[in-house]
Amino acid sequence: MKFSKKKTLDKELKLISLYKKKQISDFKKIKPRWAVDKYSVYATTHFKASLEDCEIFKILSKDLIKKADFGDMGGVPLNPNVMFNGVEIRDFRVAKILEHWDNFGFIDPPQIGIGSFSEIIFYDGRHRTLAAINLGCKFILIAIHFSDKKAVERILNLVPIVPR
């Protein structure tokens, strides 16, 4: 089977356009669904393996925005308060997440930890976080590796959702 970059790009651009055109009322209908607890059966194989070494927490979105380094993509810093910023690969990732949730799918929660300079960083899931924040979620579920838990707790107010 031959892979067509043009067809793939057209499909990606159509998906981005579809979600960029949505109204606020349309976004209010989309609810993040995290693959944790009884829904962990929907988690990816990679996340299921790391879940054995992680704990799931609930955190206020506004705290995560203030204290986490969202990094950049395509040389453009990720702004957690902007759903789409014009960098196609980033916008496509956000649109794919929205499409998944729009179709009642579950997605692995973001994984955060501590960086070299004792800052909160994303190991995985910053686009999921951006999508959830821009959908107006007051809280976001996050996974934290046991080795990072104490350091993260010093920076963020964590609320456990799955007792260990």
Phi, psi dihedrals of residue 142, rounded to the nearest 5°: -135, 155
**pLDDT tens digit string along 140-155?**
999 999 999 999 999 9
Q: List, in sequence order, the alpha helices (H) in the chain.
A: 5-20, 24-28, 45-51, 61-67, 88-102, 126-134, 146-155
Could you tell me the residue ranges of all domains in the chain? 5-160
**pLDDT tens digit string along 14-60?**
999 999 999 999 999 999 999 988 888 888 887 887 778 899 999 99
CB < 8 Å & 24+ apart, contacts of 39-44: 39/106, 42/105, 42/106, 43/106, 43/108, 44/108
pTM above 0.85, yes or no: yes
pLDDT given for residue 162 in this prediction: 55
pLDDT given for residue 86 in this prediction: 86
What sign has the CA pseudo-torsion 143, 161, 52, 119? positive
**pLDDT tens digit string along 75-125?**
778 888 889 988 888 999 999 999 999 999 999 999 999 998 899 999 999
Provide the angle, in degrees to the nearest 10, between the axes of the packed helices 88-102 and 5-20.
70
